[in-house]
């Protein structure tokens, strides 16, 4: 399965450039219909003279990619689909939008690393084929005088932060899978040990997902029952409580290979936020400070009163 309509390679890797674009009439037919004839957004690329970094207005995701030292201190022009606004998969024109607002310009460091900053891209479909979230980008030449003609593509699995994972738990909007066999796990999550997932056939994996969609909210369950949302398009979060957890990537890769399109990751130790406890704790601190402040004032005025009494006695 190719990661994008214009991608040459059909291999899927995580955190690696997996394909270069091959432009033909079929792959960009949707763009031709709205008057665009290249893969570049609106058939335009930024001028390199006087170029400056530019970020999407509502970016909330970072993605680091190592291009190698041969691409050190180069300008990168990148673009992706907009962030999803519904559970349903959109077609390519609607996913990208007419303004390509989820695009930016950044420069690699002296080691050839770049940190993309963007909204978490959504998957899209063309001719009933759904493609994984990905980033397209172009690289300037060594002297930063012009853009190389090659358009590269990388698959992205966005990382969730604490606030987003809390929203996902409360709204039951994602199927949360624990990549490790954890005793302490995220609420409303289920264990799918990465080694077990590797042994499963695609059919067995599909059945596992189907048997657990009752955890999700009623909106998603209704869409699945009515065949308006494929089981492959259910939003999924893969969880592991370590930043360098390779098991998370193994499970995510297995799901990608099985054709699941909406996969995100959460790679931090989960600590449930209890709003009542911090609030009570803060009130106790404030009350303690207030009492101390009152005691200081009382002692201060008592001290003044004692001094007045001593002065009057001397007189």
Q: What is the DSSP string of 18-79?
A: EEEB---TTTTHHHHTTT--SSSGGG----STT---B--TT--EEEEEE--GGGTT-EEEEE
pLDDT in tens, the chain (315 residues): 677 888 776 666 666 665 676 666 777 889 999 999 988 999 999 999 999 999 999 999 999 999 999 999 999 999 999 999 999 999 999 999 999 999 999 999 999 999 999 999 999 999 889 999 999 999 999 999 999 988 999 999 999 888 999 999 999 999 999 998 875 578 889 999 999 999 999 999 999 999 999 999 999 999 999 999 999 999 999 998 777 788 999 999 999 999 999 999 998 776 665 443 344 445 566 777 878 878 887 776 666 555 554 555 555
Tokens standing for residue 50 = 């006087």
Residue of 129, 139, 160 whose CA lies nearest to 235: 160
Helix or strand holding residue 300 (H, E): helix 276-314
Would you state the pLDDT for residue 107? 97
Q: In whole angstroms, give the CA distance from residue 75 to residue 72.
A: 9
* Sign for the pseudo-dihedral over CA of 45, 50, 55, 57: negative
Would you state the pLDDT for residue 274? 42
pTM for this entry: 0.81
Q: What SS3 state is found at 275?
A: coil
């Amino acid at each position: 399965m190719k990661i994008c309509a214009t991608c040459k390679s059909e291999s899927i890797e995580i955190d690696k450039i997996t394909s270069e674009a091959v432009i033909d009439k079929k792959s960009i037919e949707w763009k031709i219909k709205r008057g665009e004839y290249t893969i570049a957004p609106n058939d335009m690329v930024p001028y390199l003279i006087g170029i400056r970094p530019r970020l999407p207005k509502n970016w909330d995701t970072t993605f680091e990619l190592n291009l190698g030292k041969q691409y050190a201190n180069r300008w990168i022009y990148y673009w992706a689909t907009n962030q999803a606004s519904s559970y349903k998969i959109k077609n390519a024109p609607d996913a990208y939008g007419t303004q390509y607002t989820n695009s930016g310009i950044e420069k690699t460091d002296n080691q050839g690393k770049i940190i993309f900053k963007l909204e978490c891209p959504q998957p899209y479909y063309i001719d009933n084929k759904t493609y994984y979230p990905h980033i397209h980008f172009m690289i300037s030449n060594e002297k930063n005088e012009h853009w190389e003609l090659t358009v590269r593509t990388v698959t992205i699995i966005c990382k969730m932060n604490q606030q987003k994972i809390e929203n996902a738990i409360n709204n039951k909007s994602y199927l949360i899978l624990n990549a490790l066999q954890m005793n302490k796990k995220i609420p409303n999550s289920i264990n799918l040990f990465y080694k077990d997932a590797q042994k499963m056939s695609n059919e067995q994996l599909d059945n596992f997902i189907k048997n657990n969609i009752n955890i999700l909210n009623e909106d998603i369950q209704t869409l699945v029952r009515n065949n308006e949302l494929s089981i492959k398009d259910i939003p999924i979060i893969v969880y592991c409580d370590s930043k360098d957890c390779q098991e998370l990537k193994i499970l995510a890769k297995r799901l990608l290979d099985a054709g699941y399109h909406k996969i995100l990751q959460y790679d931090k130790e989960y600590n449930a936020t209890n709003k009542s406890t911090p609030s009570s704790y803060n009130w106790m601190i404030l009350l303690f400070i207030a009492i101390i402040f009152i005691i200081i004032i009382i002692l201060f005025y008592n001290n003044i009163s004692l001094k007045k009494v001593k002065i009057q006695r001397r007189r």
